[in-house]
Structure 1
Amino acid sequence: MDRRVPSRRNFLQATAGGLVVSASLASADTQAAETAQATRVVNPLSGDVLQTQAELSADAQHLIEEQRSIPVVGKTDVLVCGGGPAGIAAALAAARAGATVQLIEVAGCLGGVWTAGLLTKILDAENKSGIMPELLNRFAAQGSSVAKQTDGTVYDPEIAKLVLEELCVEAGVKIRLHTRLVGAVTDSNRRVVAVLTESKSGREAWLAERFVDCSGDGDLAAHAGCRFELGVGQDCECQPMSMMALLTGIDADAVRPYIRETASSAKRLLLKLMEEHGMTPSYRAPTLRHLHSGVFSLMTNHEYGVSAFDANAISESTIRARREIHDLVNGLRRIGGVWKDIAVVATAEQIGIREGRRIRGRYQITANDLATGLKHEQSVCTAKFPIDVHALNAHGNKEINREFKKGGHQPYDIPYPALVAEDVDGLLLAGRCISGDFIAHSSYRVTGNSVPMGEAAGLAAAVSIQKQLMPHELKWSEIKS
């Protein structure tokens, strides 16, 4: 889908510095002021806020917000949007290369799908160098015997939270949690110069020399006006979302055949057990993992047809997914025997989103690249994870859709230009929002690839500042040297 249609975008011209601000930044607050009351100044100690003045339209469908001054609260060399696997690596790489770095994350912890999403398994990490093995070593060293046996690829989310915070603090990264990006500002040369956020501290502006979009859904790039693609086909059909959960009350030895790390047959055995006792999980390959002591993770949920950009739909799917998890666990408990004490410890704070925007970069990774095993002179890493398109709907109760695998797959390179936004300058991409088609995305989206992508983008951001060049003006050989 080409989002660069002038008639679909309205722009407001700011008076200072010739900045072009997307109209999407002018989101109205929830109250319309009936009288021109005195505006308070934001004060985090007293709790005072910057009040909004607005008029309600005659049809009561819109609020017309009055112009207001947004405080600039930070200025760094590099700003990273999103503190998930890609964002952590980007922030660490940029900071270790000498840049000042601001990391902005919407959740209350770092790690994204690793922590807030309770993923517990890192895929396609074993063949990577740099920050990825460093993280795995820390997860294993501070983790359980299971973490050690799996070289950190099966990990405890709480350990991951602590490790990621420690590393970022040690590197001097400035961390802001509980903060959502809501806009981006470009200058007259289409260079990103600022982002806007909302949080308990109100609406704030952040300036930087370079920006890295590690939001997963390409939020920063979209606000900056970048073109993007979404899903597959005319209906932009996307892969389903999944909610993860942590469980307790079972003994690892007693349920060993059902634990994924025991054998690939574990998923089929668990599905058979569920179906024999009247349970029909929406994900047809239920996955049980042992993390440590009596704690396990479970993935047995699919939420079909949910847009990553529809808060109502995500809310409904989150409620539905959590209900399904509890129903399935209650069903397992009713079986008795080794399952009689099974219980839910926690469900994920954030439902797992497999697919959002794929931002237009200066190279697009394609299904043909996977089929031919792309070897690229500007490779930042090699991806080995197979084409993995989860079933796009519930028809046939399939685990994955195999029709997308017909073209074949070989290990392939992820080129640096796929991490560089095409439509604006000063913006790099990392994680599942990089430039690629639907089939390629289903392979490179896993977090073992997100980390080296983030590391490359963060390093590129820092080096481009040092060389006083835009990221697209550099080759990867000039950056990594």
Structure 2
Amino acid sequence: MASEKSATHVAEPSRTTPVVGDFDVIVAGGGPAGVIAAVAAARGGARTLLIERYGFVGGMSTSALVTPISEFRVAGRQHIGGIPLELMQRAAELGGAEIERDSGNWPVNDEIMKLAAQRMLIESGVTLLFHSWFSDVITAAGRVSHIIVQNKAGRVAYACKTVIDCTGDADVVRAAGLPTTKGDVLQPATLWFQLGGVDTGALDYVFGDAVDGILPVSESIRARLAELHVAGEVPLFGGPWINRFFRDGMVSINVLREPTDASDPEWFTRTETSLREKMHALIDVMRREFPEFRNAWLAKSGIQTGVRETHHIVGLYELTQDDVLHPKAFPDTIAKGAHTIDIHQTDSIDQNEFVLLRRPYNVPFRCLVPRGSVNVVTAGRCLSADGPGFGSVRVMATCMAMGQGAGTAAALAIAHDVAIPDIDVGELRATLIEHGAIVDFDNVDPDDHDDNIDRHVDAFAVDR
């Protein structure tokens, strides 16, 4: 007897979800943006809850081993300070970050970052909730009144006045029915890994000495990998970008690349399994082909594959390529960015739209506010930006700076009982400056825009 075709939907019985807590601000997602947002909100006087799916915070910097963290300085000038800088200083004091560099690519030890961020959160008065997935929202009169999470205790709700979506995938925004968008072609994902037993002293520095802890890719290594890729022995790859990891013989590597949609669980599962197989095969190739890696051993791989892009909010403003190349004096500037416009191709070992910046640009608060939002703000890679703009602003240091802006804004909205879009941006900026954030306008040069870019840089001299 043939089985009946499965139904396309099932009806769930109605249920009552217990409310187990009440907070001023709930931050969904404990990555770089979420950590800083939660600290900023708590220090601003808001009772703050941070929800995180893993048993630690740090996001891509810890779960996916994405190091170094970019980009705190450009052309020798600091453009990100405040709470993000404080976190990096704490990690450095624990021996887990190198921050005394002219450039802003700062190596960090993922285990130290977990500890430094956790301490900062607890000391700031943030309530932590680990091993919990954001599940849904309850709305009333256009406001999110409760966040629903799923964990080992079941399905529970937390009341809130303001929500900061730091999920990276705009999960809260989408659950609240606010508009989002997603490109037809997303940047590929990368599984980072760390190797021991590497002859780091013998690595070929074809671009000169190591700069800012990054070992520039060897032309000979890349060329040989490219040959093996054409021959079908090496999968799609980028770089490779090889980074020192705090002791001789240890490196952290960004090389694997695979197109995916991390907001599609079935597809992303296939990506995870595929990349883990490819990682082991590639390490075997590196041992065979390159003397520097002959005795290499796998120390660690990411708990998850690193994700560059999924959903974006439709914000009150969209950061554009022109805003990145020709910095604007936005009246609501709450952060700065300076990372290269860096778009990884999904079907090639090359980069696309690669433009090196010589000075920082400004990120307006409106990029973090979804259209139609009353009490939801975002921080991190789900902000509103076009393709090239996103190709620069997506990196972790800039996401941290956005987190301080979003967390400060959430606390101010509660203190003055106003909607997120109605906060006084002058007061927001003044508060950020008071707490060390760099949000000045003196990087804007209206008379000479073209001196901000360098299109003749080798794409493989810069990480990520």
TM-score interval for Structure 1 and Structure 2 normalised by the shorter chain: 0.7 to 0.9
Report the CA distance between 1:378 and its aligned residue.
1.1
User: Residue 448 of structure 1 aligns to which amino acid in structure 2?
Assistant: A
1:304-324 deviation digits (Å, cap 9, x = unpaired):
1x1122111111111111111
Report the CA distance between 1:270 and its aligned residue.
2.8
Structure showing greater radius of gyration is 1
1:284 partner SS: strand
Report the CA distance between 1:96 and its aligned residue.
0.7
Of 166, 170, 183 in structure 1, the residue corresponding to residue 136 of structure 2 is: 183
1:326-365 deviation digits (Å, cap 9, x = unpaired):
1111112224744221011121111111111110222221
- 1:280 matched to which residue of 2? 234
- 2:257 matched to which residue of 1? 302
Asked whether 1:400 is paired with 2:355, we answer no
Of 270, 284, 292 in structure 1, the residue corresponding to residue 246 of structure 2 is: 292
Residues 284 and 435 (structure 1), Cα distance of their counterparts in 2 relative to 1, 3 Å cut: closer
Calculate the TM-score normalised by the size of structure 1.
0.81
Moved more, 190-199 or 78-87: 190-199
**Aligned equivalents of 2:64, 2:100: Cα separation in 1:** 22
**Aligned equivalents of 2:406, 2:261: Cα separation in 1:** 27
**Aligned equivalents of 1:179, 1:316: Cα separation in 2:** 23
Of 359, 364, 374 in structure 1, the residue corresponding to residue 318 of structure 2 is: 364
Asked whether 1:323 is paired with 2:272, we answer no
User: Residue 470 of structure 1 aligns to which amino acid in structure 2?
Assistant: A
1:341-360 equivalences under 5 Å are 341-360=295-314
Moved more, 114-123 or 63-72: 63-72
- 1:470 matched to which residue of 2? 419
On the 8 A contact 2:336/2:401 being kept in 1, the answer is no
On the 8 A contact 1:257/1:269 being kept in 2, the answer is no
Report the CA distance between 1:269 and its aligned residue.
3.6
- 1:67 matched to which residue of 2? 14
Asked whether 1:221 is paired with 2:173, we answer yes
Report the CA distance between 1:265 and its aligned residue.
4.6
1:222-301 equivalences under 5 Å are 222-231=174-183, 236-255=184-203, 257=205, 261=212, 265-275=216-226, 279-293=233-247, 294-301=249-256
- 2:39 matched to which residue of 1? 92
Asked whether 1:135 is paired with 2:87, we answer yes
1:210-246 deviation digits (Å, cap 9, x = unpaired):
1000111111101001111112xxxx11111111111
- 1:445 matched to which residue of 2? 394
**Aligned equivalents of 1:411, 1:313: Cα separation in 2:** 36
**Aligned equivalents of 1:345, 1:133: Cα separation in 2:** 28
Calculate the TM-score normalised by the size of structure 2.
0.83
Asked whether 1:454 is paired with 2:454, we answer no
1:41-120 equivalences under 5 Å are 59-120=6-67
1:257 partner SS: coil
1:253 partner SS: helix
**Aligned equivalents of 2:293, 2:5: Cα separation in 1:** 60
- 2:373 matched to which residue of 1? 424
- 1:165 matched to which residue of 2? 118
Report the CA distance between 1:154 and its aligned residue.
0.2
1:266 partner SS: coil
1:105-140 deviation digits (Å, cap 9, x = unpaired):
112210000100100111122221211211221222
- 2:436 matched to which residue of 1? none
Residues 313 and 439 (structure 1), Cα distance of their counterparts in 2 relative to 1, 3 Å cut: same
On the 8 A contact 1:137/1:152 being kept in 2, the answer is no
Of 304, 312, 318 in structure 1, the residue corresponding to residue 266 of structure 2 is: 312
Moved more, 461-470 or 258-267: 258-267
Gaps of 5+ in 1: 1-56
How many residue pairs match? The answer is: 414
Moved more, 260-269 or 121-130: 260-269
On the 8 A contact 1:370/1:410 being kept in 2, the answer is no
- 1:200 matched to which residue of 2? 152
Residues 154 and 265 (structure 1), Cα distance of their counterparts in 2 relative to 1, 3 Å cut: closer
Report the CA distance between 1:177 and its aligned residue.
1.2
Residues 454 and 145 (structure 1), Cα distance of their counterparts in 2 relative to 1, 3 Å cut: closer
On the 8 A contact 2:136/2:148 being kept in 1, the answer is yes
User: Residue 68 of structure 2 aligns to which amino acid in structure 1?
Assistant: K
**Aligned equivalents of 1:419, 1:386: Cα separation in 2:** 21
On the 8 A contact 1:137/1:151 being kept in 2, the answer is no
**Aligned equivalents of 1:275, 1:115: Cα separation in 2:** 29
- 2:462 matched to which residue of 1? none
Identity of aligned residues (%): 29
**Aligned equivalents of 2:67, 2:397: Cα separation in 1:** 12
Residues 264 and 118 (structure 1), Cα distance of their counterparts in 2 relative to 1, 3 Å cut: closer
1:257-311 deviation digits (Å, cap 9, x = unpaired):
387757775253431343567753422311111112233211111111x112211
User: Residue 136 of structure 2 aligns to which amino acid in structure 1?
Assistant: G
Residues 210 and 372 (structure 1), Cα distance of their counterparts in 2 relative to 1, 3 Å cut: same
On the 8 A contact 1:378/1:475 being kept in 2, the answer is no
On the 8 A contact 1:115/1:161 being kept in 2, the answer is yes
On the 8 A contact 2:88/2:97 being kept in 1, the answer is no
1:439 partner SS: helix
1:63 partner SS: coil
Compute the RMSD of aligned alpha carbons: 2.5
**Aligned equivalents of 1:334, 1:390: Cα separation in 2:** 27
Residues 144 and 105 (structure 1), Cα distance of their counterparts in 2 relative to 1, 3 Å cut: closer
- 1:48 matched to which residue of 2? none
On the 8 A contact 1:382/1:414 being kept in 2, the answer is yes
On the 8 A contact 1:365/1:440 being kept in 2, the answer is yes
Report the CA distance between 1:463 and its aligned residue.
1.0
Residues 92 and 430 (structure 1), Cα distance of their counterparts in 2 relative to 1, 3 Å cut: same
1:440 partner SS: helix
1:209 partner SS: strand
1:64 partner SS: coil
